[in-house]
Structure 1
Amino acid sequence: MTSLGFLYPGHSAEDDYPRIEQLLGSDIRLDLVHTDIGEDAHRVDALRRMGAPERLAAGVEELRLIGAESVVWACTSGSFVHGWEGAHDQVRALARAAGMPASSTSFAFVHAVRELGLRRVAVGATYPDDVAGLFADFLHTAGLDVTGVRGAGIITAAEVGTWGEQQVLALAREADREDAGAVLLPDTALHTASCLPALEMELGKPVLTANQVTVWEGLRLADRRVNAPELGVLFRREPLVQA
């Protein structure tokens, strides 16, 4: 049994994780510990406080007791708002506190895009435009070409968590660009585990979503690879090769 640990802020779309665990269909357990979200606001100052070292460190002892082999800070905006170097500092501190390999959803997106052999991506973010722009900046620093950014202007994770499949599909369609090799939907408060095949069929290209890449990153840290096509192109064994 491989146990993967996740620090998930608050309560919005955490039910994606048991759904993904079921779809993995393997000897893999996804263990969530909820962190204190503080102020629920897609605002830079609030997001920086949400990902503060002491908030993340508070959850790692429970993950150690569970027997987790890796830990991922399951939050995109609470990592990329610190910038490229700050996000690295964040996961280094988390790894030291947890005593195991660590990462975050922001880095999961970068690693997943590289895994698929892609470079050009479009972003469909639930966030206000300024926060969505910071994610694009993060991806640019990683060497990716962001061909377009669509922000939905939602302030709270609680509201994002109420979105259904049709709203998710609409955001992905609005964000898509012809020259993008994939569309990224960066918010772990967004339910996407049940609609990944529909997203990729609708757009005709890979769609990477926050909870999906977060689990994939945990598997990568634990040196596990799982073939689960229901979770999208990313979970097929053969990587897609494209410029």
Structure 2
Amino acid sequence: MTAVGFLYPGHSAEDDYERIEQLLASDVRLSVVHTDIGEDAHRVDALIEMGAADRLAAGVEELRLAGAEAVVWACTSGSFVYGWDGAQKQVRDLARAAGMPASSTSFAFAHAIQYLGVKKVAIAATYPEDVAAYFAAFLKGAGVEVTATRGSGIITAAEVGTWGRDEVIELALSGDHPSAEVLLLPDTALHTAAYVQELEQVLGKPVLTANQVSVWEGLRLADRKVPGERLGKLFARTDRT
């Protein structure tokens, strides 16, 4: 049994983790602990407060008791707003507090892009344009070429959590770019686990979504290889490089 822990802000699309666990159909346990979201706002000051070290540290004991071998801060915007160096400090602090390997969804995207061997990506975000631009800047710090960035202007995670299949597909289609090798959907508040395979079929390219890459990253930290065809190209490969 491999157990991975996720610190998830508030309540929006956390049921994606249960769905992913079912789709993997393996001896993997994905434990979710909810952190204090503070103000639910896709606004830089609120996101910085959301990702504060004390808020994350408050959830690690519960994950330790659940037997987690690694922990992921399952929030993209609450990590990339710190910038590349600040986000690295955030996960270092989390690793020290948890006493186990740690990462965040932002780094999960960077590592997944590298793993797929691609350079050019498009971003289809639920966030306002200014927040989406922070994610593009973060990825550029990882050597990724962002060919297009689309923001949707949604302020709260609560609203994003109400989106279903039609809205997700529309977002992906409107945010894709012909030169992008991969499309990114960066919000962990967005339900995507059920749609990854369909999105890749519609777009004809790999699609990386926030909760999907968060689970992949947690398993990577735990040095576990678990295939999952219904979770897209990222999980179709079982090698780890």
* Shared fold per TM-score greater than 0.5: yes
Give the gaps of 5 or more residues in structure 2.
Answer: none
Is 1:21 paired with 2:21? yes
Tell me the TM-score normalized by structure 2. Answer: 0.98
RMSD between aligned alpha carbons?
0.7
SS at 1:33's partner residue? strand
The 5 Å alignment of 1:175-194 reads 175-194=175-194
- 3-state SS in 2 of match to 1:159: helix
In 2, Cα distance between equivalents of 1:215 and 1:227: 12
Distance 1:176 1:159 in 2: 22
| Residue pairs, 1:114-153, within 5 angstroms | 114-153=114-153
Q: Residue 182 of structure 1: CA displacement? A: 0.3
Partner of 1:7, secondary structure, is: strand
> Equivalent residue of 1:88, what SS?
helix
Once the two structures are TM-superposed, the CA of residue 165 in structure 1 deviates from its matched residue by 0.6
Q: Secondary structure at the match of 2:237?
A: coil
Aligned residues: 239
SS for the counterpart of 2:146 is strand
Deviations 1:25-51 (A, max 9, x none): 110000000000000000000000000
In 1, the alpha carbon distance for the partners of 2:45 and 2:26 equals 40
The residue correspondences of 1:1-243 to structure 2 (distance < 5 A) are 1-237=1-237
Residue-by-residue CA offset, 1:206-225 (whole Å, 9 max, x unaligned): 00000000000000000011
- Deviation, structure 1 residue 159: 0.2
Whole-Å separation in 2 of the counterparts to 1:186 and 1:237: 21
The aligned amino acid for 1:14 is E
Counterpart Cα distance in 2 of 1:114 and 1:225: 17
* Structure 1 length-normalised TM: 0.97
CA contact under 8 A between 2:124 and 2:184: conserved in structure 1?
Answer: yes
Q: Which runs of 4+ in 1 moved over 4 A?
A: none
Tell me if structure 1 keeps the 8 A contact 2:112–2:213: yes
| Cα deviation code 1:84-116 (max 9, x no counterpart) | 000000000000000000000000000001110
Q: Which amino acid aligns with 2:101?
A: P
Distance 1:64 1:218 in 2: 14
Q: Deviations over 1:51-98 (max 9, x none)?
A: 000000000001111110000000000000000000000000000000
Distance 2:158 2:44 in 1: 17
| 3-state SS of 1:191 partner | coil
Secondary structure of the corresponding residue to residue 121 of structure 2? strand
Letter matched to residue 106 of structure 2: S
**d(CA) in 2 for partners of 1:189, 1:123:** 16
Sequence identity percentage: 71
Consecutive unaligned residues of structure 1, counting only runs of 5 or more, are: none
SS at match of 2:159: helix
Equivalent position amino acid for 2:126 in 1: T
- Tell me which amino acid in the other structure corresponds to 2:64: R
Distance 2:160 2:79 in 1: 18
Q: How much has 1:203 moved relative to structure 2?
A: 0.2
